Structure 1
């Protein structure tokens, strides 16, 4: 029984809590048992606070006993990515340079989860300052993929994706500044949604409008439920849009009939694995069968890469600008190379990059006059060896060279999701579904359609393959 608890959805947990069939305390016991079983192989968490988790679970159990839950996530265990503040826990962001002192307040998304009664018991690993699309670094070491522990789970929300995929928690938080929710969702075989900028209140960070707060789950409906919580207002974010009162679970099964959908296998970039591109076809066929009008388009966004490189480099250089020599020397070598190479970026170059970013956003706004949604592979390759920054330094010199289909939509601020759609040689692949600004509901409906057609029910066995 306890083993099956690890694979329940958040919605099923609270349904059973309400019926008295299950207690949040029982769920947390199963969660901790699974975590202790799998984490030695995955290295997916960087902080564990069992006493707090047990206290929060017991409080939630008492609320359900009284018939007075705080909300639809009361008692549900949620793992928190260590780029967010949790009051009473340190925020290390994968770096030796950060303080080990506890944070004084919650990040907005964490505050909403706390108000909803979610059970916090751990923080998940991230590369240093979330700078790359894989999860390893000097503070926390190498995080591994549950489907093949010789491979990376992706990043920077790699620890979160790994614990969701491995049956530890139904939900985990993440942040996405260049694909950091969608990359690990694709590599780890889970669902991840990057909301439109401004939909989820957040603290403004060095990446500005590129970065948003969100989460990962094993099914689409759980992410819709999570979004209902995360989108609640927070006065600390003056850039958040006004609360629109949307229930993202409403209409989730309404389908995609009549939607105009574009398909691009590469967005004009090279290097896609033909097997990964071919692996998208069942998902595309499912959308067509459900009534969507899907057409392949010639959409080339490759000219945006220099824009991303300038903004990414300048943002991270600004983040470490006050570091002394010892702190710089302790950085992830790849991050150090990035910030050193960005030292010569001028103010005019940075402003020109932001102007190009706005132009790209406007171009995609025009594109969506003709198409309700855009489909691409999330990542054009499968998960590669854990502990390295790129699978091929000649073909893909930097992390953004092998993730060219995710970061354009951080530049444009659009919502985008990665939904599992199959496997290539035993490794998960994901279909990316992109919408115009504030089209999360359409993305969720399309993702649900793909999920219903492509979900296999397979669970990772934490096997180790050849790297």
Structure 2
């Protein structure tokens, strides 16, 4: 069943830029926008299960006392794995009893400084480890395109509600594809930025390899561009070229590499055909497309999985010191527990795995000296039904199914390079199938301008028909 919240209210079918322009011109108030977004969430969340925490009274107060900024008054959501003052952070787990955060994390400080008004926090899979948010107690987060299917993960709650029209833009973050995966599943634009592009919470900054990047999911390229422009007004990494104010398609023609062979697994027949259709569109637009392989080492899958598992083990090891007496490790799902076991059994391999993964960044830079952009499908197959990645299954089943589906996105998490998922394809069953474009470090501007061109050439499908 397809569901959405688009209706003839204050939000209408405006994207974030359209809404910001209406707010700035006084065509509606921030209070009206907040109330409409609250009503929309309440209309669809019973089907989508996307909210982790509601903060409607705070949103109403914030709407009356706006921070200045281009996005002032635009309603949004924050993913429930970063700290927002006054809101609890559960990170998708039942392993502790969360308390309201005393202060904003570094990302929330930057995010809310743009003027966005948070209505609450969105659901994710436990710690973001799974590509499908299917909580054993709270239930699954479902895509509004077909509520029998997963909304992806880990930023699934944000993506489901943006796709359904409840808010125009929402926070997401990406440690193995979790901006791009739910964008692909829900028919959205999802840009994973270059490592270090945006302000980031200390927990994510302190990782041996900083695989996690924060960003947003949106319904239009111009919303993604506007967010990064506004974010740069509040946080600027001087080691990276600025993204700037991007409002039009790219002018130069690009060298584009095409591959449908992922990291250890390959795309299925339908996804491969859809990717080749996107390559044909790029050629029609004058770009040069060459079929090739991404330079991924044979050890990459095992090394990435071990690093992912090491993060799970770290969560279990540090849980009680961080969360106190309410900590109960037994309440974790089978995926988290299985990953932690995998790490413990292979600790002797961790130094070598990290060393090899760190070399991937240099390999990627050499690759992007030859090719401006890499085109792959975002995911290797269509969107699975709820239950396929149920975290109460045995670990071996879950991890094999995850690796089958998520075969393309982890490379940029390790290299630190940017990549964007665009809703350029539709399956035979009428569901979005994201196409991913990756570029060299600091080259978000190339991806955004190319995304403008593709959006113009092949307008994105709309859930409301």
TM-score, normalised on structure 1?
0.89
Aligned partner of residue 150 in structure 2, secondary structure: coil
Paired residues for 1:245-394 under 5 Å: 246-250=242-246, 252-267=247-262, 269-299=264-294, 301=296, 303=298, 304-323=300-319, 327-346=328-347, 348-389=348-389
Matches of 2:370 and 2:119, distance apart in 1: 45
CA contact under 8 A between 2:170 and 2:216: conserved in structure 1? yes
Paired positions, count: 446
Q: How far did 1:302 drift?
A: 6.3
CA contact under 8 A between 2:307 and 2:354: conserved in structure 1? yes
Show the counterpart of 1:428: 432
Matches of 2:327 and 2:56, distance apart in 1: 34
| Residue 416 (structure 2) pairs with residue 413 (structure 1) | yes
Q: How far did 1:5 drift?
A: 1.6
Which ranges of structure 1 fall in alignment gaps of 5 or more residues?
61-68, 235-239, 462-467
Matching residue within 159, 166, 169 for 1:168 = 166
CA contact under 8 A between 2:124 and 2:155: conserved in structure 1? yes
Matches of 1:331 and 1:184, distance apart in 2: 23
| Residue 458 (structure 2) pairs with residue 454 (structure 1) | yes
Query: Which stretch shows the higher mean deviation, 368-377 or 50-59?
Result: 50-59
- CA pair 160-121 structure 1, distance change in 2 beyond 3 A: same
Query: Which stretch shows the higher mean deviation, 225-234 or 197-206?
Result: 225-234
Q: How far did 1:432 drift?
A: 0.3
- CA pair 57-24 structure 1, distance change in 2 beyond 3 A: same
Q: How far did 1:107 drift?
A: 2.2
- CA pair 6-87 structure 1, distance change in 2 beyond 3 A: farther
Aligned partner of residue 151 in structure 1, secondary structure: strand
Q: How far did 1:140 drift?
A: 3.2
Aligned partner of residue 102 in structure 2, secondary structure: coil
| Residue 395 (structure 2) pairs with residue 399 (structure 1) | no
Q: How far did 1:281 drift?
A: 3.7
CA contact under 8 A between 1:273 and 1:380: conserved in structure 2? yes
Which ranges of structure 2 fall in alignment gaps of 5 or more residues?
1-6, 321-325
Matching residue within 7, 29, 37 for 1:31 = 37
Matching residue within 61, 64, 75 for 1:58 = 64
- CA pair 246-341 structure 1, distance change in 2 beyond 3 A: closer
CA contact under 8 A between 1:267 and 1:302: conserved in structure 2? no
TM-score, normalised on structure 2?
0.90
Q: How far did 1:367 drift?
A: 0.8
Show the counterpart of 1:47: 53
Aligned partner of residue 320 in structure 1, secondary structure: helix
- CA pair 320-151 structure 1, distance change in 2 beyond 3 A: same
Aligned partner of residue 36 in structure 2, secondary structure: helix
Query: Which stretch shows the higher mean deviation, 49-58 or 285-294?
Result: 285-294
Cα deviations across residues 341-363 of structure 1 (Å, max 9, x unaligned)? Answer: 221222x5211111111222211
CA contact under 8 A between 1:262 and 1:374: conserved in structure 2? yes
Show the counterpart of 1:132: 130
CA contact under 8 A between 2:106 and 2:201: conserved in structure 1? yes
Quote the RMSD (CA, aligned, Å): 2.4
| Residue 26 (structure 2) pairs with residue 20 (structure 1) | yes
Show the counterpart of 2:323: none
Query: Which stretch shows the higher mean deviation, 6-15 or 47-56?
Result: 6-15
CA contact under 8 A between 1:76 and 1:119: conserved in structure 2? yes
CA contact under 8 A between 1:214 and 1:230: conserved in structure 2? no
